[in-house]
Amino acid sequence: MKKNFLKILSPLLFFSYFSCVNSPTNPPSYSDIAIPKATPSALPYSSILDNLKPGTLPGSVTSPEEQQLIDLMNRKVNLTFPLKLGVLLLQENIDSIDNLKRKELLSKYIEHLKSNNNISDVIEIPSSLISRTSTIEDIRKLAARFQVNLLIIINDTYESPYNDKEKDLTPLEIISNINYFKTKSNMEVFVIDIVSGVFVLSQNISNSLEEKISLVEDYKIKNLLNKSIDKLWNDLKDFSSNKINELANKR
């Protein structure tokens, strides 16, 4: 009877031993187990599906802003000649030059552009239609309403002549009340293609003039500033003509 009992019990003990070895109460060491890392695949399936967009591979997702930049980078500028140009002179707080003089210089510049065979028409875009907070896209939209191909944006600044006290004077200069006066004019020029929104040109034009002026002849101080301003606008004329002709020759 005892023998029979053992015969029945031994297979039961054998199985119960193995079941105890693999049971959770006796866990294996963690070094032996490969722990899965947190990968996108570890995310819930619903969130992975949400991030997927038609035509894009997982991991190559671009934001709408980035996509806009890529679009801009790849845009081609197709200019049709003769060009219809817009000119926008930005309104700045300029104390050293009166507004009438600026308007006169702008009119002469527009007339100069009109004489170019590669330009069919030039329209002045009034700066009163833009505000200080206007973005380049606002300006582009405005130029589109004037139906121009290219827009020239001009930002000009002028420095009133000042007495350069660092300059050494000779005795005769001292007796004649002569001083060295300096002035500086600067202009940032941007040319934007309205259709593509791409900047075709960007240039900084500037000059710095110095002159010996007797303090009793103060009208010469104003003349010095006028010389600098005239030189700046003449340089702008030369720059614009050369660049437009270059663009026309590239066709």
Partner 1 sequence: MKKYIFKIFVISYLLVSCSINPASGQWENINIDKENNRVTTIINIVQTDNSFTGKVTTKKEKDNKIIEESQIDISGYVSGNILVIENVSQINSSKLKKSTLTLSSDKKSLTLSPGSIVFNKK
Instruction: Give the interface with partner 1 as residue ranges (CB under 8 A).
Output: 165-177, 179, 216
Looking at the Cβ atoms of 72 and 174, the one nearer to partner 1 is 174
118 vs 179, which CB is nearer to partner 1? 179
CA distance 237 to 230: 11
What's the CA gap between 178 and 216, in Å, rounded? Answer: 9
By beta-carbon proximity to partner 1, the closer residue of 220 and 231 is 220
Nearer to partner 1, 154 or 178 (CB): 178
User: What's the min distance (Å) between Cβ of 213 and partner 1?
Assistant: 12
For residue 201, count other CB atoms closer than 10 A to its CB: 17
Under a CB-based contact definition with an 8 Å cutoff, are residues 178 and 141 in contact? no
Residue 208 sits at the vertex; the CA angle it makes with 202 and 210, to the nearest 5 degrees, is: 170
- Closest approach, Cβ 182 to partner 1, in A, equals 14
CB of 217 to partner 1, least distance (A): 9
Omega within 30 of 0 (cis) for the link into 82: yes
Of 2 and 165, the one with the shorter C-beta distance to partner 1 is: 165
Separation CA 103–CA 136 (nearest Å): 23
User: Which positions ≥6 away from 64 have C-beta within 8 Å?
Assistant: none
Residue 175 CB, nearest distance to partner 1 (Å)? Answer: 5
Write down the least CB distance from residue 179 to partner 1, Å: 7
User: Rounded to an integer, what distance in angstroms lies between the CA atom of residue 231 and that of residue 109?
Assistant: 12
